[in-house]
Structure 1
Amino acid sequence: MLASLGSLYEYYDFVIFGFMTIYFATNCIPDYFNGKFKICIVLALFLGGYLFRPLGMYCYSKIYYLYPRIYIINWLIAGLLVTASLIMVVLVAHKTWSTFLFLILSRSIQGFARGAEAQSEFGFLSVVLGEKRGISAFGLMAGAEIGVFFALVVNSILNHTLDSQQMYEFGWRLPFAIGGVFSIIIYLLRYFMHQKRTSNQIPHMSKMLPSWMICVIYPWQMLFTSLLSGLRACLGWFLVFIVPLFFLKIFNFNYLYIGHLLLFSSVGSIISSFLVFRYVTLEYSRIILPYLILITVPVLVFFIYNLWFNFLLQLSLLFIGIISGALAVLNMQVSFSIYSPLVRLSTISVSYNIGHTLVSGFFLLIISSLSAFLEYSYSGWQHFEWWLLYLASGILILMSLVLFYLAIKLRKLKYYPELLHFIHNQRK
């Protein structure tokens, strides 16, 4: 449970920011920027916040040597996270440069604090769990999926209780207020459950392997797991940002109906996650994963085909949700099996963060910028949302084909001894 708390909060914020992007672009970005480029600016802010993560990790490692009582430092980190959420809550919804600068400040504080918190979490788990620290990698990834689900629930409740005008006026602030309260609860749980009792017993907080060293030791594995996490995250952005924006602007669906449509993808994701987790063993996950990745291609083509005719949208979204949920579980199982237990926590954490921040962040920024440029260049077909959908689908299909090749190549890697014992027990 301790392993899942930090990633749970992070990916809650990750998905909520995607849902609220349209409100930021409308309320907080100056009119100096073109309407479509406002979305690009907001997505650039989202990506820019993660550039402060390495600085947060570095500062934490330095401060720890001066003040080794880690629970005190963690309360300072919690204070920064609450401050970032509070800025979002009280942000004045005026299209002025001051509002824009406060938005930048909030995302910068968020990225810095999350980087420091990640360094604390990974180092703490490495020391407390010792040789069993590889087990905590499952907790980190499970926490991320729970955070995504929690964000979907919060967004659905808001869309069911508030109309579009209320969402534009004040509703977009509420998820960040919930996130601030959520961060306090997480640190209280960590403090009273375990970290207070052990903080004074740890003479030295072990460090994670540097990211560059991980990439040198496990080049193909890191490329594969980072892209696989990125594909899962990009599918998430596809469902929580691109598809709702398309339905809103092209089909003129209201937010409540869009929420009902997205419910099909959520149901498909939950069902497939449960079935894969329950019935697909670690041994067969490597066999199934390449073909599941390949199925992503016809599923996306089927969705675009149905969009042209406004037909079978529910079934298309259900299929995408099924693929997304199954990928989430198989990602955990396969990533767990290709790294040594001694470095599993570090490698999976780094690759998971690369996939969900850099890969998906640049994915959104690139396709939104290209879509705005193409709409501006081709006056005969000025449909930003169509360009966005086509570019996103094309990149997702390309990523799927590359991952299919890598999954086939990595299927021959050996299992580590403790996993062979686990597989033997699964067969029984």
Structure 2
Amino acid sequence: MQDVVTHTPTRTLNAQDYKTLALSALGGALEFYDFIIFVFFSITISHLFFPNDMPAWLSQVQTFGIFAAGYLIRPFGGIVMAHFGDLFGRKKMFTLSILLMALPTLFIGCLPTYTHIGIFAPLLLLLMRLCQGLAVGGEVPGAWTFVAEHVPKNKIGLACGILTSGLSLGILLGSLVSTAMNKFLSAEQLIDWGWRIPFIIGGVFGLIAMYLRRWLKETPIFLEMQKRKQQELAKKIPVITVLTQYLPQTILSMLLTWVLSAGIMVIMLMTPILLQKQFGYSSIDALQGNILAIIGLIISCTFYGMMMDKFAMGKVIFIGCTIATIVIAIFYLSLDNPHLLFVTYSLTGFVVGIVGSFAYFMVTVFPTQIRYSGVSFSFNMAYAITGGLTPLLISFLSDFVSKMAPAIYVIGLFGFGALIGLFLLINNNSQKYIAKDIA
């Protein structure tokens, strides 16, 4: 396949680039907040949306099952949105995804509980999570594609890193809101009405973010492709082209997504709960440590994105994942010493930021005509399986096998990530995989 569309020439970021990055990151942060706030209140939700006489471990598992449903539906939403995004433009789908996230989040904050409507309560909650999953399936790949096609090719890593930091900011917002709720409300108030506030806030701000995205412009590289009438490939159904002509790139992108899911799901989202249940930490200490870790993640995603623009991506991934493997091991082995929590957790958050560089690989290995579909299929399919099953798997293993099960899982995957980086490095940084309109 010969790409005639060329990427934005090498230059520095201008005011329009920064505006695009800011609006994309803000919208992504609010949408990601909407999607993950569920896990911060999973213990409360398990009490409210299931029978009181149900064993705590079972209601928790079922709550994580509903949470996982949002991940399992992501590939469908991602494929549909990416298909139309490759045909008709990134901006339209990019804006639609945030609307489809904001409304269900708002509705969750208004749902009646099991006490009021019985079995319909968890069913409605499940329906809202499925709607959220459809939306986020188009948001993250769409955001990476959108900013990568706006900025000069020598700043793609930085742009993707900043955007991933923006998504991480959504996790930070969730952690801050959760900390505030636990600190200023009693357990009774939280159960009675306090848990609704984070969802209502998320829904309202999501609608505001959708309005702000009106000011975004379609990507220049997509408009150029339209002008040159190079959509024949996309009209063959982009995802089919992805699987038939770009299978190695797809497999590598899915494997990197698996590593990413371990860092985000286990260390950032589940560890505060595990610290309380398995290691006896208070909710405030666990959440404050989590805040420090997320701040480290936000800084590091941008840092590693910048490194991708300067050094061979195989080298960056290999070194970053190797360091992460070591620091994560130290973090989990030191959890019996509460005095080290804030230091080790914040450092762990920083080293996990290597996942912010993975987007660079994904957006550069697929050509313009199918880029959105390629990134979306790879990312969402892998995240649906790994992100969807991880909460259930980790919750079960930590309760019935070993409280160190999360550590073994994450350390193993980041070690695997280092091997992927080594593979890219040995294969001359895998330049043969890079799309012609990026190389």
The match for 2:296 is 268
| Counterpart amino acid of residue 301 in structure 1 | A
Contact 2:297–2:351 (CA<8 Å) still a contact in 1? yes
Provide the rounded CA distance (Å) in 1 between the counterparts of 2:163 and 2:379: 12
- For the structure 1 residues 138 and 11, does the alpha-carbon distance in structure 2 shift closer, same or farther, using more than 3 Å as the test? farther
Partner of 1:362: 389
* RMSD of aligned Cα (Å): 4.3
What residue in structure 1 maps to residue 11 of structure 2? none
- In the alignment, what sits opposite 1:162? 184
Q: What amino acid is the match of 1:242?
A: M
Q: Is the 8 A contact 1:87 1:102 kept in 2?
A: no
Partner of 1:15: 36
Aligned pair in 2 of structure 1 residues 294, 220: CA closer, same or farther (>3 Å)? farther
Deviations 1:36-95 (A, max 9, x none): 12222122212223444455567779999xxx9999999987665444123211122335
Query: Which residue of structure 2 aligns with residue 407 of structure 1?
Result: 421
Letter of the aligned partner of 2:44 in structure 1? Answer: Y
CA contact (8 A) 2:36 2:174 kept: no
In the TM superposition, 1:17-416 aligns within 5 A as 17-31=38-52, 33-53=54-74, 55-56=76-77, 80-94=100-114, 96-114=118-136, 142-160=162-180, 162-165=184-187, 166-194=189-217, 210-211=238-239, 213-278=241-306, 281-325=309-353, 327-340=354-367, 343-372=370-399, 374=400, 387=402, 389-411=403-425, 412=428, 413-414=430-431
SS of match in other structure, 2:112:
coil
How far apart are 1:279 and its partner, in Å? 5.7
One-letter identity of the residue aligned with 2:65:
A
1:104–1:57 Cα change, 3 Å: same
- Residue 123 of structure 2 aligns with an amino acid whose one-letter code is L
Q: 1:314: Cα distance to partner?
A: 2.2
Shift, 1:144, TM fit? 4.3
Residue pair 2:314, 2:421 contacting (<8 A) in 1 also: yes
TM-score, structure 1 normalization = 0.75
What are the Cα deviations for residues 7-34 of structure 1, in whole angstroms up to 9, with x where unaligned? 4444223332221222211221234643
Select between 20-29 and 340-349 the one with higher mean Cα deviation: 340-349
Amino acid at match of 1:259: L
* Percent identity between the two aligned chains: 21
Corresponding letter in the other structure for 2:394: I
Give the Å deviation of 1:229.
Answer: 2.7
Deviation at 1:245, TM superposition (A): 1.6
Q: Tell me: CA distance 1:115–1:418, structure 2 relative to 1, closer, same or farther (3 Å).
A: closer
CA–CA separation in structure 2 for the residues paired with 1:88 and 1:116: 20
- Opposite residue 256 of structure 2, the aligned amino acid is L
Q: CA 1:213–1:40 in 2, change beyond 3 Å: closer, same or farther?
A: farther
Stretches of structure 2 that go unaligned for 5 or more consecutive residues are 1-19
- The code of the aligned residue for 2:212 comes to L
Q: Separation in 2 of the partners of 1:130 and 1:104?
A: 36
Cα separation, partners in 2 of 1:81 and 1:24, compared to 1, 3 Å: same
Measure how far apart 1:184 and its partner are: 1.5
Name the CA shift for 1:77/1:233 in 2 (closer, same or farther; >3 Å): closer
The answer as to whether partners of 1:211 and 1:350 remain within 8 angstroms in 2 is yes
Asked if structure 1 preserves the Cα contact closer than 8 Å seen for 2:83 and 2:238, the reply is: no
* Alpha-carbon separation, structure 1, partners of 2:150 and 2:327: 43
Q: Deviation per CA, 1:257-291: give whole Å up to 9, x if none.
A: 22322233134324434544456644344213212
Distance (whole Å) between structure 1 residues aligned to residue 205 and residue 308 of structure 2 = 33
- Give how far 1:164 is off: 4.7
Work out the CA distance in 1 between the residues paired with 2:360 and 2:90: 32
Is 1:11–1:147's contact at 8 Å kept on the other side of the alignment? yes
1:308-331: per-residue Cα shift (whole Å, max 9, x none)? 344522222122112112x13322
Q: Deviations over 1:216-255 (max 9, x none)?
A: 4333432332232332232222234432123323444333
Answer yes or no: is the 8 Å Cα contact 1:290–1:404 preserved in 2.
yes
Structure with the larger RCO, 1 or 2 (CA within 8 Å, 6+ apart):
2
- TM-score, normalization: structure 2? 0.73
Q: Give a deviation string over 1:103-129, Cα, whole Å, max 9, x none.
A: 11211232345557789x68x969xx6
Select between 37-46 and 258-267 the one with higher mean Cα deviation: 258-267
Secondary structure at 2:344's aligned position in 1? helix
| In structure 1, C-alpha distance between the alignment counterparts of 2:298 and 2:91, rounded to whole Å | 35
The residue type equivalent to 2:297 in the other structure is S
What is the alpha-carbon distance in structure 2 between the residues aligned to residue 98 and residue 251 of structure 1?
35
Q: In 2, distance between residues paired with 1:346 and 1:309?
A: 46
